[in-house]
Amino acid sequence: MFEDIQKLIFGRLTLEDFVHEPIMAGAGISMVAALVIAIIAVTYFKKWGYLWRNWFTALDPRKIGIMYLIVSGIMLARGFADVMLLRAQQVLNDSPELLNADHFQQIFTAHGSIMIFFVAMGLISGLFNLIVPAMIGARDVAFPFLNSASFWLFAAGMILINAPLVVGEFSAAGWLAYPPLSGIEFSPGVGVDYWIWSLQIAGIGTLLSGINFFVTILKMRAPGMTLMKMPIFVWSVLCSSSLIMFAFPILTATLGMLSLDRLMGMNFFTSDMGGNPMMYINLIWAWGHPEVYILMLPALGIFSEIVATFSRKRIFGYTSMVIALLAITVLSFTVWLHHFFTMGSGASVNTFFGIMTMIIAIPTGVKIFNWIFTMYQGRVEFTTPMLWFMGFVVTFTFGGLTGVILSVPAVDFQLHNSLFLVAHFHNMIVGGVLFGAFAGFTYWFPKFTGFTLNERIGKYSFWFWVIGFFVAFIPLYILGIMGATRRLDSYDPSLGWEGLFIVAGAGAVLVAVGFALQVLQVVVSIIQRKKNQVGGDPWGARTLEWSTTSPAPEYIFAEIPTVTSRDQFWEMKQQKKDLRTPLYTDIVVPKRSGAGVVIGILALLFGLAVVWHMVWLVVLSLIGTIITLIIRLTNDSPDEILKASDIAKHELQRGTQ
């Protein structure tokens, strides 16, 4: 009877689920401890009101963007910790055994899932929010509340993916959880469920964000900014958003079906009763390939802005850059089978997708040449962002070439699921997305804080990252060609591969130093902020976001600028136009709203309830979500007015900048 009540309230959760073996327990305890310390600190300094009013309920895209960056930064640390454990295990090679097989599998699953969904996606979402509205001469995104809800869904997903450190276990099925391993028969525990619902919830947030930015860019540009006058970064966000809109529903449906298999005994991907696990692989990669372009395109856009600014020249070949972005967008839906060349398909299918994969490399190559031509005969300044660009060119091109190698099905039969593949995709994501995000972060940091990052530490960090990256991954290319399979926690010592793993491990340490230096850079810069204060345009840039103060006021632009050319801000500077205007009007801004936070909390509760089979909580959280949505969506007065007089006061203070 007592047991029945316990089952009813707690589902399949028991006290046992809080017990973990030492490393995981240590991680869980430190995480909770850090959280508790943070809560105590905020309470002690009486900052809850401030946090709630100015950050959690803010619908200002810059605030939301910074919150995304903070969460992504924390997740980068977690993903990194996972890497160090994995590398250490491979260096030690079971003498002694640092991680047993099950633990190793949970860690590489966590590493991949966190890095892609909560670091890379979070970084680009953060940069979208921080930059896009100002860059197109708008004051906000199209749907500010949706923006907030998207962030809090992302945060809920982040909590769900970290919860296994404290209660339960994580998935051991890899970052894409192929069935039948991820089905209920072979993974009966909570791990895969945590994985599914963390991604589902964060995925919905991303999908809504995609819609938000697509509408923002198409409908809220400053007057005169035609599509062909938009900065290339805005084009890249437009393309990335359209990929999000058309690819993420595939993920939602596929994860949904896997969940139905697990929860309701369905047979989509089981190995009997008619199920077809390959259909999962087919669908998940139909999403998965566009996903990597979702991450990549904004990084390419960031570099276009940075190269133009620091070469003091407009971007070379604007039209071909746009066409290349559009081509990549469309083509990214035609290559997905290259992720499973070896899984049974015949020659016709493999040939088609192999050729399409080779073709998609071409527009990317066009972009690289255009950047180089932009630099040619420009007055190039090698600031930290420009260094990240140089690092990107070398790293990403190298990785792209290995991609073309892999696109040949016959070669892929040798290299599929080897460490060569692992090295390739890290080359693309680290060299492309991460370096792009770091470059963008460094470049735009002064805009949203008002002071610059410490250049010297930035440069050191860059060198550690780039050199560390190559030291860490060239050995993996070699190992892959020699036949090393991925995802193994140890390799037979008689193979003589230990030396290469040690070198790779050393590389990982170098990268870790690079990351630590980045954290140090931010801390030092904050401490030294009074010394490094800058005005609106510290780099001598070209695009509209630099025409505001740093940071910009809540309304961003007192008067929406009129655009007549590309690189409008640059043109305005050349013509020495006064950017202030004598005529101010009332501006409508959205009121703060806690509904986004509430929805995030309800989504988190829903996720936990489904994972642990707590039916009552599933029902309650669903009802709560519906009620919250009805209340928020029938709110007829969500906005408030900023009076012209207040705006005038603020703008007149600008004279000192």
Quote the least distance from Cβ 614 to other proteins, whole Å: 21
Can residue 528 be called a binding residue for other proteins (CB under 8 A)?
no
Q: Among 186, 189, 252, 478, which residue sits at the site for other proteins (rule: CB under 8 A)?
A: 252
356 touching other proteins, by CB under 8 A: no
Q: Is the sign of the CA dihedral 647, 652, 656, 657 positive or negative? A: positive
Residue 641: strand, helix, or coil = strand
Asked whether position 619 contacts other proteins by CB under 8 A, the answer is no
- Residue that the structure tokens 């909390």 belong to: 601
* Distances 131 to 63, 182, 298 between C-alpha atoms, Å: 11, 39, 11
The answer to whether the CB of 213 falls within 8 A of the CB of 241 is yes
C-alpha span between 75 and 640 (Å, rounded): 35
CA 541 – CA 358 distance, rounded (Å): 35
Please give the residues from 554 up to 613 whose contact with other proteins meets the rule CB under 8 A: 588
Spatial separation of the C-alpha atoms in residues 438 and 344, rounded to whole Å: 40
Q: Out of 207, 386, 500, 597, point to the residue binding other proteins (CB under 8 A).
A: 207
**59 secondary structure, DSSP code:** -
The verdict on 96 binding other proteins (CB under 8 A) reads no
Query: Whole-angstrom Cα distance, residue 215 to residue 209?
Result: 10
Under the binding rule (CB under 8 A), the answer on residue 266 touching other proteins is yes
Binding of residue 549 to other proteins (CB under 8 A): no
- Least Cα distance to 12 among 621, 614, 618 occurs for 614
Tokens of 239: 């393309």
Residues contacting 292, CB < 8 A, separation 6+? 425, 428, 429
User: Hey, which residues between 269 and 298 contact other proteins (CB under 8 A)?
Assistant: 270, 272-276, 278-279, 282-283, 286
Among 95, 226, 319, 348, binds other proteins (CB under 8 A): 348
Residue 263 CB: number of other CB atoms within 10 A? 13
Among 60, 82, 169, 261, binds other proteins (CB under 8 A): 261
634 binding other proteins? (CB under 8 A): yes
Report if residue 224 touches other proteins, rule: CB under 8 A. no
205 contacts 157 by C-beta, under 8 angstroms: yes
Nearer to other proteins, 149 or 512 (CB): 149
CB of residue 36 to other proteins, shortest distance in Å: 39
Establish if 451 lies at the interface with other proteins (CB under 8 A). no
- In the bound state with other proteins, the residue whose beta carbon lies nearer, of 131 and 281, is 281
- The phi, psi pair for 554, rounded to 5°, reads -55, -35
- How many CA atoms, within 13 angstroms, populate the side-chain half-sphere of residue 369? 9
Q: Is 257 in the site for other proteins (CB under 8 A)?
A: yes
The minimum distance between CB 156 and other proteins, in angstroms, equals 20
How many residues sit close enough to other proteins to count as binding (CB under 8 A)?
58
Contact call for residue 337 and other proteins (CB under 8 A) = yes
**In the complex, what is the shortest distance from the CB of residue 227 to other proteins, in angstroms, rounded to a whole number?**
12
Residue 461 corresponds to which amino acid?
A: S
Q: Rule CB under 8 A: which residues touch other proteins?
A: 142-143, 146, 207, 211-212, 214-215, 218-220, 242, 245-250, 252-254, 256-257, 260-261, 264-268, 270, 272-276, 278-279, 282-283, 286, 333-334, 336-337, 343-349, 588, 626, 630, 633-634, 636
